[in-house]
Structure 1
């Protein structure tokens, strides 16, 4: 948890009703504003075919007036993406205990790619032959598998590993969040993984999820960023904002082994060129890309 307050701690619940086509762009903006892991989306086609609702939960100690800061951020986004209008914001207050359970009702087991199934720890799931189930409790770290950026990475990792023998593959997961990508890589056959994140909540979540999935002996988890990477890896995955990826490109590129690949996600389509140019300047070549909604996954190799 972000805070160890008393049972009377409160959260602001910000409901943002937006055009459905703009939902992912707004989710990206909320992440930029510091709410990447607290975004819940629900569609109500029977009520409004063209609209969706995004809910953000913000602890009262984190922001005393989150409605104003979020509205300001959306106004800024609308200046360059007018299609996100019209949007409506509503604020309510919920008790910590209510918040702790309310977000869980939106998340259920989800099949991603051919064999990967992401399952919240509080749900049951009947496996089919060949299924690889990831038991994930994100706490308050990003990485439930519901967001397109995570799905794009999971699909690419599965595809890459199905085309080779990953038993000798070392993986670096930068901005690991819940640890979902590092855990998936190990369960898909990688030899070892190093997962890093600057958020101590993410570090805690990754350690716990590694234990839940019985892969903790193969995953090293460190608090920090690119500076924590030691040596090189055959596969580097990074699922954070495009601007941050571009800034970290020199360090990320150095971490890729001569025959390795770098998978980058968290990139809104409009910023794909920013990331491509950043890695091109470091000697990496774009090998493939895949899009999902407003998001893109880019895979690079050493030139």
Structure 2
């Protein structure tokens, strides 16, 4: 339906917003009710501002003035209610199907995120080179496109583990838990790299729906189960657990992960800030030993080997 709609509409208004993270969901909801093409919300890593860039385009028709007016009103209310120090940066441009003013077109191209893993949007054809692992992810919501640093750390850790780049052997026919799955990309990558089965969970129903779509795009419905669950609901063990979560959640779930990661199994976690010492210290006391760390100076991740005493 998206493709047919785009063929029928020849002129568009491109909208680009630079937002604090706490506003991305609210603005995303605003655009849900519109005819929107290629809505992308991505951390503004080029400027390293801690803000997020929302880019999308809407039809240039008789309703566009009303849409822009409603958006401007909503932004003004948010700026006032939340006492933002600076106004939200809004940029609007007109273009046709043949011209594109912003960077979101690059999200329509395959992107290599590790030595072997390539992410591509579902509509695009791509012939993988020898040894490449291609994952189809549609960048269309607040759950991103798989290129955020914390996600890439997890992908690199998976590749390091299954490509036998560590001092330990990877788990054979591993059963994987992807905790806080978002798009489902980590569960998909784990299966493509050699895991046997995966359970992908998230407490957000929107994430569950999106993960299911991406699992289907990658033809893995029989290998990956997606459920709306919390880590606290899990009562089984796994050879490998993936946890791309915020620092407070990583700290809160430490004891739970110690119960659901099998002895001798692995925990790949990301979402820590550069000051990762306190989090890693908690996990060390629980029996998780660091195999490798990943950092870009701002975010951090690690792959841990679970070796509990006794």
User: TM-score w.r.t. structure 1 length?
Assistant: 0.72
CA distance in structure 1 between the aligned counterparts of 2:258 and 2:81, rounded to whole angstroms: 35
Distance 1:127 1:183 in 2: 16
- Please tell me whether the aligned partners of residues 40 and 106 of structure 1 are also in contact (alpha carbons under 8 angstroms): no
User: Match for residue 89 of structure 2?
Assistant: 90
Gaps of 5+ in 1: 1-10, 17-28, 45-49, 76-86, 95-101
Query: Equivalences for 1:42-191 in 2 at 5 Å?
Result: 43=46, 54-56=52-54, 65-68=77-80, 72=84, 89-91=88-90, 104-107=104-107, 108-163=109-164, 164=169, 166-191=171-196
Structure 2 distance, partners of 1:213, 1:115, is 17
Going from structure 1 to structure 2, the CA distance change for 1:185 and 1:209 (only over 3 Å counts) comes to same
Cα separation, partners in 2 of 1:92 and 1:68, compared to 1, 3 Å: farther
State the secondary structure of the residue aligned to 2:253.
Answer: helix
> Matched residue pairs, number?
258
Structure 1 residue corresponding to 2:299, chosen from 292, 295, 298: 295
Provide the C-alpha distance between the structure 2 equivalents of 1:91 and 1:71, rounded to a whole number of angstroms: 17
Show the counterpart of 2:37: none
C-alpha separation in 2, matches of 1:155 and 1:185: 11
Alpha carbons 2:290, 2:302 under 8 Å: kept = yes
Q: Quote the offset at 1:40 in angstroms.
A: 4.8
| Distance in 1 of aligned mates of 2:82 and 2:106 | 22
**Superposition misfits of 4+ residues, deviation over 3 angstroms:** 11-14, 31-37, 40-44, 50-54, 56-61, 63-72, 91-94, 164-167
Residues in 1 aligned to 2:82 and 2:46: alpha-carbon distance in whole angstroms: 20
Offset, 1:178? 0.2
Q: Is the 8 A contact 1:13 1:92 kept in 2?
A: yes
Q: CA RMSD in A?
A: 3.7
Q: CA deviation at 1:56?
A: 3.6
The reply on whether 1:30 has 2:21 as its aligned counterpart is yes
Query: 2: distance between equivalents of 1:193 and 1:51?
Result: 35
Compute the TM-score of the two structures, normalised by the length of structure 2.
Answer: 0.70
Work out the CA distance in 1 between the residues paired with 2:204 and 2:50.
29
Q: Is the 8 A contact 1:141 1:178 kept in 2?
A: no
Going from structure 1 to structure 2, the CA distance change for 1:137 and 1:168 (only over 3 Å counts) comes to same
Distance 1:278 1:117, change over 3 A: same
User: Which structure: larger Rg?
Assistant: 2
Q: Residue 134 of structure 2: SS of its match in structure 1? A: strand
Between stretches 216-225 and 287-296, larger displacement belongs to 287-296
Residue in structure 2 matched with residue 285 of structure 1 by the alignment: 289
Distance 1:128 1:283 in 2: 40
Indicate the residue corresponding to 1:211 in structure 2: 216
Q: Does the CA contact (< 8 Å) of 1:269 and 1:294 recur in 2?
A: yes
Residue 212 to residue 53, structure 1, CA distance change in 2 (3 Å): same
Does the 8 Å contact 2:41/2:144 carry over to 1?
no
Q: CA deviation at 1:288?
A: 2.1
Contact (CA 8 Å) 2:171, 2:265: kept in 1 or not? Answer: no
